[in-house]
Chains A and B, each alone.
Chain A
C-alpha cells in the first residue's frame, strides 16, 4: 500500500488527485491504479514519468505505506 499522487492530465483522467493503492513495487502500484481508473488514465501513464518521494523512480523500486508514488505527465509550465 502506497499513496499515489496524480497531477495535471493524470488527475483529470483518474478523477482523483490522491489515493491509496496496493502494490509492493512502483510497477505494481501503477498497474493497480490503471485497473482502478481505466483506459484514459492508462494512456496518460504510458507517457508519464514516475517519481517516488520527489525523485525519479524505476518500475522495480519497492515502495511501502510511507512512500508517495507520483505520476507526472509531460509538463507545460512557464
Chain B
C-alpha cells in the first residue's frame, strides 16, 4: 500500500475539524501541529524512500511519572500553531544544514489532550546511512523541546498544573544536542 500523502492526510483530518498544515507533497519535509492521535506508522511510511537505507524514529509518549510526584493521568498541550509550525520548519532546515545527507524529516507535535502511552511528538529522519539519521533525529527532538513554543499541563486525579520542567526558549542555531538534559 502506498504511503499516505500530505494532501490525503489533510483531507482525512479536515472532516473532523479545521487542520492547518504548512507542508505540501512537494515539501521535502513534513511538519505539523495536530489535535489528532499521531500515527507513527503513517509518518514512517511517508519518510521512507528508495534512496534511503536508514529511517530513525523517535516517539515521545505520555507517561505516568512526574517530577511533582503525582501519578499523571493525561497531558494537555497548548500552543499557537502558526508560531510552533514555523519553529518546526526552522528545526528541519537547521538539521539539513548540519547533515546535508538526510533526505526526509518529519516533525509532528500534538496539541490538546494526550492520553497515557499516546505519542506527544514524533520525529522521523530518513537518510542513506544510519549515522547521520541517528544524529539528525537526536538533534531534532532536542531542538523541538528547546525551541518550539509549546506548553504542557499535567493532569492527575483531583488536580492539574503546568509542567515544572519548563525551560527558556533558545534559537534553533544555538541547540547543542549533546548538552541537552534528558528528562523527557
Contact = CB atoms under 8 A, between A and B. Distances in A.
A78 B144 contact: yes
Given A7-B80, A78-B121, A72 B169 contact: yes
A48 B79 CA distance: 15
Contacts of B144: 77-78
A46 interface: no
A23 interface: no
Contacts of B156: none
A72 to B, nearest CB: 5
A73 B152 CA distance: 12
A77 B80 contact: no
A78 B162 contact: no
B88 to A, nearest CB: 10
Contacts of A11: 78
27 contacts: A7-B78, A7-B79, A7-B149, A7-B151, A8-B151, A54-B82, A54-B83, A70-B80, A70-B149, A74-B168, A75-B145, A75-B148, A75-B149, A75-B151, A75-B166, A75-B169, A76-B151, A76-B163, A76-B166, A77-B109, A77-B120, A77-B148, A77-B150, A78-B60, A78-B109, A78-B145, A78-B184
A26 interface: no
Nearest to A51: B83
Interface of A: 5, 7-9, 11-12, 47, 49, 51, 54, 56, 70, 72-78
Interface in B107-126: 109, 120-121
In the A-B complex, the 9 residue pairs with the smallest Cβ-Cβ separation, listed nearest first, are A77-B150, A8-B151, A74-B166, A76-B163, A78-B145, A76-B152, A76-B166, A78-B121, A78-B60
A76 B149 contact: no
Contacts of A75: 145-146, 148-151, 166-169
